[in-house]
Amino acid sequence: MTSPFTRRALLAAGAAGFAAAACSPGAGSGGAGAIRLLNVSYDPTRELYKEINAAFAADWAGKHGGQKVEVEQSHGGSGKQARAVIDGLQADVVTLALGGDIDEIANRAKLLPANWQTRLPNNSAPYTSTIVFLVRKGNPKQIRDWPDLIKPGVGVIASNPKTSGGARWAYLAAYAYGLKQGGDAAARDYVGRLYRNVPVLDTGARGSTTTFAQRGIGDVLLSWENEAFLTLDEFGPNFDIVYPSSSILAEPPVALIDTNVDKKGTRAAAQAYLEFLYTPTAQDIIGKHHFRPRDSAALARHGASFRQIPLVTVDQPFGGWTKAPADHFAEGAVFDQIYKPA
């Protein structure tokens, strides 16, 4: 029997194949009057958007005389996905892990306006998430909080902040913990020691989950909250979730890629798709898939599983996504200074 993570790898391969095809002319419209959209997303949203896409297609057909809309997906590390759009991948919408990646598309490729984040509620982030620890059942290494990640003999599985949005959130959550212990010098020392315990840096969050859950490498995974719950759903007897004493408020944003939708004639459907993410139907699906809904009713229905812990933001203490990437993830910046691959 094919394992869940193998099935996901096959789905990802299919999405990548579509992504290549989507660069060709005419990829934006389906046959027989159907509308075809491409949502370029980050790693751990496959299951979420599979269900949202079906709900949106039904909603659109009900409002437009039965007209079909097909939403195709492309998934990968958030930074890698942003670069693919910059390089010509014909996304109608992007649903990425962090605002800085969409800023790159706006600034470098001019495919959408710089003020894209003002066009939808909550700075264009229809849900939030955070970073937690996923450990093996019974927590044999007794990993409870950030200091435990730098103990000798603890294998930490994380993805690469050069390519993965989730990895950037995880890195900043760890750095924020270090800052509280004694400022920038303490933070650099702490994060440097943490990444010395990382045997494998995958390119995206789903790859790191596969490394930890399927390949059995490491003692703890720095994980998106939703990805940790998904792992419990599929391999529950083998893992536990640990919430650290503090983490970070992750706000994955969404955006319309104006140049592409106008070229393909899909603006109305693509805009409706993004607006649908804020509806009660979609917000309930978001909560079901262990993302934190913005809608208070949906959050109340699903909130029992979301532990409340102190969360820093990217704005404080990192200066937002206009400053944090240059300080920490650019060539020669802090991550390059502290991470020395074995």
Each of the 342 residues of the chain gets a pLDDT tens digit; together they read 333 433 344 333 333 434 433 433 334 444 458 999 999 999 999 999 999 999 999 999 999 999 999 999 999 999 999 999 999 999 999 999 999 999 999 999 999 999 999 999 999 999 999 999 999 999 999 999 999 999 999 999 999 999 999 999 999 999 999 999 999 999 999 999 999 999 999 999 999 999 999 999 999 999 999 999 999 998 878 999 999 999 999 999 999 999 999 999 999 999 999 999 999 999 999 999 999 999 999 999 998 989 999 999 999 999 999 999 999 999 999 999 999 886
145: left (phi over 0), alpha (psi -120 to 50) or beta: beta
What is the separation, in whole angstroms, between the first and last Cα of the chain? Answer: 36
Give pTM, 2 decimals: 0.89
Residue with tokens 């944003």: 253
Q: CA torsion, points 72, 78, 83, 87, in degrees to nearest 10?
A: 0
Q: Which residues contact 294 (CB under 8 A, 6 or more apart)?
A: 121, 122, 125, 126, 127, 128, 278, 283
